[in-house]
C-alpha cells in the first residue's frame, strides 16, 4: 500500500545534508520549516520513484537573495524542475518561476487562517508569460508525481515507473470496488 504521509521527524531527516544526492534532478523548496509536514509528501514520492532530489528552505520574503541565487543557478546545477511550496502570501513559486527557465510546480500550503485559499490564489493567479503548475492545497503528493511525469518525457525509466504506478493504483481501486459490490 502506498502511504505518502511522513511524520515530521522523518521529514526533518530528509533535509539532512548527508542525505543529499550528488546530482539532484528535482529541487524541493519551501518558504518555511513550518511547510515541511506538507512538503515531505513530495519528497516521499520522489524517493519512492528513485528520483534524485534535494530539499531545502528558501523564503521569498525572508531570504530574497538566496531565492534569486537558487532560481538562477538551478539549470546549471542540473535540476530539471522545481517544486516550491509556500503558505499565506505565497510568492515563492511565482518569483522562482520568474527567475528560471525550468518548470516550477507550486504547492499551496494551508496556513492557520483562510483555509489555504490565500496560498492557492497567490500561486495560481500568475500573469501571462510566467507559468506555475499549481496543485491542490496541501497536495504535494501530486507535485511529486507531476515532477516524475516531467522526467518521464525524457527518461523512459520514469515513464515506465509511472505506468506501473497507475496500474497499481487502478488495481487497488478495483479491489475496493469488488469488496463493496460483493
Ligand atoms: C510562508 O509563510 C511560508 O511558506 C509559510 O507557509 C508561511 C508561514 O511561515 P512561518 O511563519 O510558519 O515561518 O512564507
Query: What confidence tens digit (pLDDT) does each residue in 99-153 have?
Result: 999 999 999 999 999 999 999 999 999 999 999 999 999 999 999 999 999 999 9
CB 100 less than 6 A from any atom of ligand 1? no
Say yes or no to pLDDT of 4 above 90: no
Say yes or no to pLDDT of 17 above 80: no
Say yes or no to pLDDT of 12 above 70: no
Residue 5, pLDDT score: 45
- What is the whole-number distance in angstroms between the Cα of residue 176 and the centre of ligand 1? 38
Q: Which protein residue's CA is at the shortest distance from atom 13 of ligand 1? A: 32
Query: What confidence tens digit (pLDDT) does each residue in 66-100 have?
Result: 999 999 999 999 999 999 999 999 999 999 999 99
| Ligand 1 pocket: which of 28, 33, 34 to mutate (most atoms within 8 A of CB) | 34
Task: With cut-offs at 50, 70 and 90, classify the pLDDT of residue 16.
Answer: low
- What is the whole-number distance in angstroms between the Cα of residue 31 and the centre of ligand 1? 6
Which structural domains are found in the chain, ordered by start? Answer: 8-155 (3.40.50.1970)
Interface ipTM above 0.90: yes
The pLDDT > 70 percentage for the chain reads 88
- What is the whole-number distance in angstroms between the Cα of residue 54 and the centre of ligand 1? 20
- What is the whole-number distance in angstroms between the Cα of residue 6 and the centre of ligand 1? 19
CB 59 less than 6 A from any atom of ligand 1? yes
Using alpha carbons only, give the angle 135, 140, 142 rounded to the nearest 5 degrees. Answer: 60
Q: Which protein residue's CA is at the shortest distance from atom 12 of ligand 1? A: 34
Q: Which protein residue's CA is at the shortest distance from atom 9 of ligand 1? A: 32
Amino acid at each position: 500500500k502506498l502511504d505518502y504521509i511522513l511524520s515530521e521527524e522523518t521529514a526533518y531527516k530528509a533535509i539532512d545534508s548527508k542525505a543529499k544526492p550528488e546530482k539532484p534532478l528535482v529541487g524541493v523548496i519551501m518558504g518555511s520549516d513550518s511547510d515541511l509536514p506538507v512538503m515531505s509528501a513530495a519528497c516521499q514520492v520522489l524517493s519512492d520513484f528513485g528520483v534524485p532530489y534535494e530539499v531545502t528552505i528558501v523564503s521569498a520574503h525572508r531570504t530574497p537573495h538566496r531565492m534569486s541565487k537558487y532560481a538562477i543557478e538551478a539549470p546549471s546545477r542540473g535540476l530539471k524542475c522545481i517544486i516550491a511550496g509556500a503558505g499565506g502570501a505565497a510568492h515563492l513559486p511565482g518569483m522562482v518561476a520568474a527567475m528560471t527557465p525550468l518548470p516550477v510546480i507550486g504547492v499551496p500550503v494551508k496556513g492557520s487562517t483562510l483555509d489555504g485559499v490565500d496560498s492557492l490564489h497567490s500561486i495560481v493567479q500568475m500573469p501571462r508569460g510566467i507559468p506555475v503548475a499549481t496543485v491542490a492545497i496541501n497536495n504535494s503528493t501530486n507535485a511529486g508525481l507531476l515532477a516524475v511525469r516531467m522526467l518521464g518525457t525524457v527518461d523512459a525509466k520514469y515513464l515506465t515507473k509511472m505506468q506501473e504506478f497507475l496500474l497499481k493504483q487502478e488495481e487497488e481501486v478495483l479491489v475496493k470496488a469488488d469488496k463493496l459490490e460483493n
